[in-house]
Amino acid sequence: MKEYLLGLDAGNTVIKAVIFDRAGNEIAAAAEEGHSRMPSPGHVERGLDELWTNARQVIRACIEKAKIRPEEIAAIGCAGHGNGLYALDRNGAPLLGIQSIDTRATGLVEQWALEGVGERTQPIARQRPWPSQTPTLLAWLKRYKPEQFNRIGTVFFSKDFIVNRLTGERVSEVSDMSGAGLLDLATRRYDQALMEAYGLSDCMDLLPPLIESADIAGTVTEEVAAQTGLAAGTPVVGGLFDVVASALGSGVTRTGSASIIAGTWSINQVIIDGPDLDGPVFMSSTFDRSRYMAMENSATSAANLEWLVKEFFEGEHAEGVSPFDAACALAGAVEPTADDPLYHPYLYGAQQDGHARAGFYGIAGWHTKGHLVRALLEGVAFGHRAHIETIRKAGAVFNEAVLSGGGSRSLIWPRSLPMCLAFPSPSLARARPVRWGRRLRPEPASVSSRILVRVRRPWCRPSGIIVLTSCLRRIMPGATLSITTSPRRWRRCGGV
């Protein structure tokens, strides 16, 4: 019996490979960081040849670490970041990789808003155009880069490109296509009227055959087997939009359960039985063969901390200490006061405003680097809260959420997010630092602890129990991690 499963995750920055046994235990993992290029302001692209090279490397490294025979791998599944635009040319060769933090189409979105394009797409796709959305980027290329547009033979997504390289098949699946606003969400099929609304009525042939996420897309080719160490003929499934995969991997499977992902994007989502809530949300996608995921998302989460650490902390911390931990420790040592700085997390624009920019506000001469890091962490948390409030206004009811993504490994976010999100009292909020697809179980006490924290907030009744699972790493002896925030700061942040 084939005992193992291989999962791949093609994110905006890193591609990862993980091998699990059938009980869900992680056997081995490998990761490789890629490089983005920004040829013009607002343009964020990646080389597809590098992405595939990195994929081959992490697959081989993962198999070697696992010390298993490739024939023991029963199947392969791939997740990847949604939207952006990944394209093959008409001969099936890699052509273009636009990432989901690209804002080049901001002007086109503004023009479409005046023309009422969103009023035509919303009833069909349950989504309005936005700058990094796949059909919006395709329409931008058609209008402003016609030579490049005319070379396109297939439009799909980051994980679809990996599936294509593994199997040779030109295919995509419903979770990514629906999340990109390219499907009639109710029928889960391509729609000619929808494409016409985007000005892409002549592009139906660029969309690949559509399958469900768990359907087999193809099998590993002999050539790829030689390059990666996989066994030829291993089945590869359609895969998942990565935010849906993250929810599933962190145990969010019940209708009404919510998933919050602090990654490059701020992802805030809840499982619903039908394609609609009472009001509109930013995006909806399929979750499984019958249910859906309502989402409020923007590129306003952990990418902000990555930028700050890269620009101001790398090389300025003790040996053996992560620069992310060093930054968070400085923030945790700050005693909060009413005049602390505020931060707007719009490094890559806001959800509906590609011109929005990040900024620190209210800086005084006595504020330190720690104050700025704390302001950034709080600003990101408030960004998540704004999205959660939109979902609630649309009619979603939930009192619990699971936190995942890179931000869940922070020293502070797992503690501060439940407060910033203002879960009703009493409430149960679970913050879990989990890897995509990792089996959820208590970690050894030496690594992390499951702790109960009773938080008393002066602006509401004494809260209920907030269950947090977080890595307890002491890198600043004696420092107290502060998680205090208040409605006043929330109002100030929104009013800057």
Please indicate, yes or no, if residue 243 is contained in any of the structural domains. Answer: no
**For residue 247, is it within any domain?**
no
Asked whether residue 216 falls in the same domain as residue 346, the answer is: no
pLDDT score for 2: 81
The predicted-structure confidence for 379-395, as pLDDT tens digits, reads as follows: 998 889 889 889 989 99
Q: Give me the pLDDT at residue 441, please.
A: 30
pTM for this model (two decimals): 0.80
Does 313 map to a domain?
A: yes
Based on the fold, state whether residues 212 and 128 are members of the same structural domain.
yes
Give the integer Cα–Cα distance in Å for 347 and 356: 8
- Residue 408's pLDDT is 79
Would you say residue 85 lies in a domain? Answer: yes
- Are residue 222 and residue 308 in the same domain, yes or no? no
At 462 the pLDDT is: 23
Residue in 20, 22, 2, 62 with CA at minimum distance from that of residue 435:
20
Name the amino acid, one letter, at 469: T
In a shared domain, residues 340 and 480? yes
pLDDT of residue 350: 82
Write phi, then psi, for 460 (nearest 5 degrees).
Answer: -155, 180
Are both 265 and 213 inside the same structural domain?
no
* pLDDT tens, the chain, 496 aa long: 689 999 999 998 899 999 999 998 999 999 999 999 999 999 999 999 999 999 999 999 999 999 999 999 999 999 999 999 999 999 999 999 999 989 999 999 999 999 999 999 999 999 999 999 999 999 999 999 999 999 999 999 999 999 999 999 999 999 999 999 999 999 999 999 999 999 999 999 999 999 999 999 999 999 999 999 999 999 999 999 999 998 988 889 999 989 998 888 899 999 999 888 888 888 889 999 999 999 998 888 888 998 999 888 887 766 777 888 888 888 888 888 888 999 999 988 887 777 889 999 999 999 999 999 999 998 998 889 889 889 989 998 876 788 888 887 777 777 777 666 655 433 334 444 333 322 223 233 222 222 222 222 222 222 222 222 222 222 333 333 344 556 677 676 765 5
Question: CA-CA distances (angstroms) from residue 491 to 254, 386, 440, 494?
Answer: 33, 11, 36, 5
C-alpha–C-alpha distance, residues 101 and 61, integer Å: 29
Can you tell me the distance from the alpha carbon of 121 to that of 52, in angstroms, rounded to the nearest whole number? 33
- What is the distance between the alpha carbons of residues 125 and 136, in angstroms, rounded to a whole number? 13
Give pLDDT, residue 479.
35
Last residue of a domain, one of 189, 208, 238: 238
pLDDT at 423: 53
Determine the length of the chain: 496
Residue with tokens 């859906």: 292
At residue 360, the 3 state secondary structure works out as strand
Quick one: tokens of 380? Answer: 């990101």
Q: Tell whether 65 and 181 lie within a shared domain.
A: yes
Residues of the domain holding 17: 4-238
Say if residues 362 and 372 touch (Cβ distance below 8 Å): no
Q: The CATH number of the domain where 22 resides is what? A: 3.30.420.40
Residues 209 and 301 occupy one common structural domain: no
404-459 pLDDT, tens digit each: 888 877 777 777 776 666 554 333 344 443 333 222 232 332 222 222 222 222 22
| H and E: helices and strands count for the chain | 15, 24
Considering its fold, how many domains does the chain have in total? 2
pLDDT of residue 302: 87
Residues 419 and 137: their CA atoms lie apart, in Å, by: 37
The rounded Cα 313 to chain-centroid distance in angstroms is 24
Q: Is residue 159 part of a domain?
A: yes
Q: Are 473 and 405 found together in one domain?
A: yes
Report yes or no on 251 lying in a domain: no
Yes or no: say if 168 and 221 are a contact pair by the CB < 8 Å rule: yes
Phi, psi torsion values for 341, nearest 5 degrees: -65, 160
Q: What residues contact 10, with CB distance under 8 A and at least 6 apart?
A: 51, 55, 78, 79, 80, 81, 158, 159, 161, 162, 242
- Domain match, 347 and 224 both: no
pLDDT of residue 332: 84
350 falls within a domain: yes
Q: CA 172 to CA 169: how far, in whole Å?
A: 9
Distance CA 473, CA 344 (A): 28
Task: For residues 224 and 321, state if they share a domain.
Answer: no
Q: What is the CB neighbour count within 10 angstroms for residue 314?
A: 10
CA 71, CA 76: separation in Å to the nearest integer?
12
Angle (CA) 365-301-388 rounded to 5° is 110
pLDDT of 83 reads 96
Q: Choose the final residue of a domain: 238, 270, 305.
A: 238
Place of tokens 């208590």: 442
Question: Domain check: are 94 and 232 in the same one?
Answer: yes
Asked if residue 103 is part of any domain, the answer here is yes
148-167 b/e (C-beta count within 10 Å ≥ 16 → b) = ebebbbbbbbbbbbbbbbbb
315 and 362 co-located in one domain: yes
Take residue 311 and report the two structure tokens written for it: 């620009």
CA angle at 239 for the pair 236 and 245, rounded to the nearest 5°: 140
Contacts of 275 (CB under 8 A, 6+ apart): 126, 185, 186, 284, 292
